[in-house]
Chain A
Amino acid sequence: MPSPGAPNAEKSDTRRQGVTDGRTLLDLAVSARCGGRILAGAQAPPPVEPGPPDDTVPQVEYTGVPTGAAYLDAATAAPLHPVAREAMLAALADGWADPGRLYSAGRRAAQLRDAAQALTAELLGVRADELTFTASGTAAAHAAVLGGLSGRRRAGGTLVHSAIEHSAVLHAAQRHAVDAGEDALVSVGVDRLGRLDTDAWAKAVAQPGVALASLLSASHEAGTRQPVAAAAAACAAAGVPLYVDAAASVGHEPVPPGWSLLTASARKWGGPPGVGLLVVRKGVRWLSPYPGEDLHRPGPVGAADLPAVVAAAASLRAVLADAEAEAARQRALVERIRATVAATVPDVEVIGDPVDRLPHVVTFSCLYVDGEALLHALDRQGFAVSSGSSCTASTLRPSHVLAAMGVLSHGNVRVSLHRDTTADDVDRFLAALPGVVERLRREAGL
Chain B
Amino acid sequence: MTITLDCRGQRCPLPIIALAKKIRAAPVGGVIRLLADDPAAVNDVPAWCRMTGQEYLGEAADGEFLVKRLS
**B-contacting residues, A297-350, CB 8 Å:** 347, 349
Q: How far is the CB of A69 from chain B (nearest CB, A)?
A: 27
B residues less than 8 Å from A445 (CB atoms) = 17, 21
A residues less than 8 Å from B17 (CB atoms) = 368, 444-446
Q: Which of A365, A368, A369, A391 contacts B11 (CB 8 A)?
A: A391
Q: Which of A347, A402, A446 contacts B43 (CB 8 A)?
A: A402
Are B43 and A406 in contact, CB atoms less than 8 angstroms apart? Answer: yes
- Count B-side interface residues using an 8 Å CB cutoff: 18
B61 within 8 A of A: no
B residues less than 8 Å from A389 (CB atoms) = 12, 40
**B-contacting residues, A67-120, CB 8 Å:** none
A288 within 8 A of B: no
Are A410 and B40 in contact, CB atoms less than 8 angstroms apart? Answer: yes
B residues less than 8 Å from A408 (CB atoms) = 43-44, 47-48, 51
Q: Which of A397, A402, A407, A410 contacts B16 (CB 8 A)?
A: A410
A444 to B39 Cα, complex, angstroms: 20
A residues less than 8 Å from B48 (CB atoms) = 367, 408
A389 to B43 Cα, complex, angstroms: 11
A6 within 8 A of B: no
Chain A 384-417, CB within 8 Å of chain B: the 1/0 string? Answer: 0000011100001110001100111111000000
Taking A367-B16, A390-B39 as contacts, is the C-beta distance between A406 and B21 under 8 angstroms?
no
B46 within 8 A of A: yes
B13 within 8 A of A: yes
A370 within 8 A of B: yes
Are B16 and A368 in contact, CB atoms less than 8 angstroms apart? Answer: yes
Q: Across the A-B interface, how many residue pairs have beta carbons closer than 8 Å?
A: 66
Are B13 and A410 in contact, CB atoms less than 8 angstroms apart? Answer: yes
Size bracket of the A interface: 20 to 34
Are B20 and A397 in contact, CB atoms less than 8 angstroms apart? Answer: no
Are B13 and A411 in contact, CB atoms less than 8 angstroms apart? Answer: yes
Q: How far is the CB of B56 from chain A (nearest CB, A)?
A: 11
A residues less than 8 Å from B43 (CB atoms) = 398, 402-403, 406-409
B2 within 8 A of A: no
Are B13 and A397 in contact, CB atoms less than 8 angstroms apart? Answer: no
Taking A368-B17, A368-B20, A445-B21 as contacts, is the C-beta distance between A407 and B47 under 8 angstroms?
yes
A118 to B3 Cα, complex, angstroms: 67
Are A409 and B21 in contact, CB atoms less than 8 angstroms apart? Answer: no
A366 to B17 Cα, complex, angstroms: 12
A residues less than 8 Å from B47 (CB atoms) = 349, 365, 406-409
Q: How far is the CB of A206 from chain B (nearest CB, A)?
A: 30
Taking A347-B52, A407-B47, A445-B21 as contacts, is the C-beta distance between A398 and B16 under 8 angstroms?
no
Q: How far is the CB of B69 from chain A (nearest CB, A)?
A: 17
Q: How far is the CB of A157 from chain B (nearest CB, A)?
A: 29
A residues less than 8 Å from B44 (CB atoms) = 398, 408-410
Are B52 and A409 in contact, CB atoms less than 8 angstroms apart? Answer: no
A407 to B51 Cα, complex, angstroms: 9
**A-contacting residues, B41-62, CB 8 Å:** 42-44, 46-48, 51-52
B residues less than 8 Å from A369 (CB atoms) = 13
A408 to B40 Cα, complex, angstroms: 9
Are A390 and B12 in contact, CB atoms less than 8 angstroms apart? Answer: yes
Chain A 359-373, CB within 8 Å of chain B: the 1/0 string? Answer: 000000101111000
Taking A408-B43, A445-B17 as contacts, is the C-beta distance between A367 and B51 under 8 angstroms?
yes
Are B13 and A367 in contact, CB atoms less than 8 angstroms apart? Answer: yes
A410 to B16 Cα, complex, angstroms: 10
A147 to B25 Cα, complex, angstroms: 57
Beyond A390-B12, A398-B12, 5 extra complex contacts between A and B, CB < 8 Å = A390-B11, A407-B43, A409-B12, A409-B40, A446-B21
- Sample 9 A-B pairs with CB under 8 A, ordered by A number: A349-B47, A367-B13, A367-B51, A368-B20, A390-B40, A398-B40, A406-B47, A407-B43, A409-B43
Interface residues of A (CB under 8 A from B): 347, 349, 365, 367-370, 389-391, 396-398, 402-403, 406-411, 444-446
Interface residues of B (CB under 8 A from A): 11-13, 16-17, 20-21, 38-40, 42-44, 46-48, 51-52
The 6 closest A-B pairs by CB, nearest first: A408-B47, A410-B13, A398-B40, A410-B12, A390-B40, A409-B43
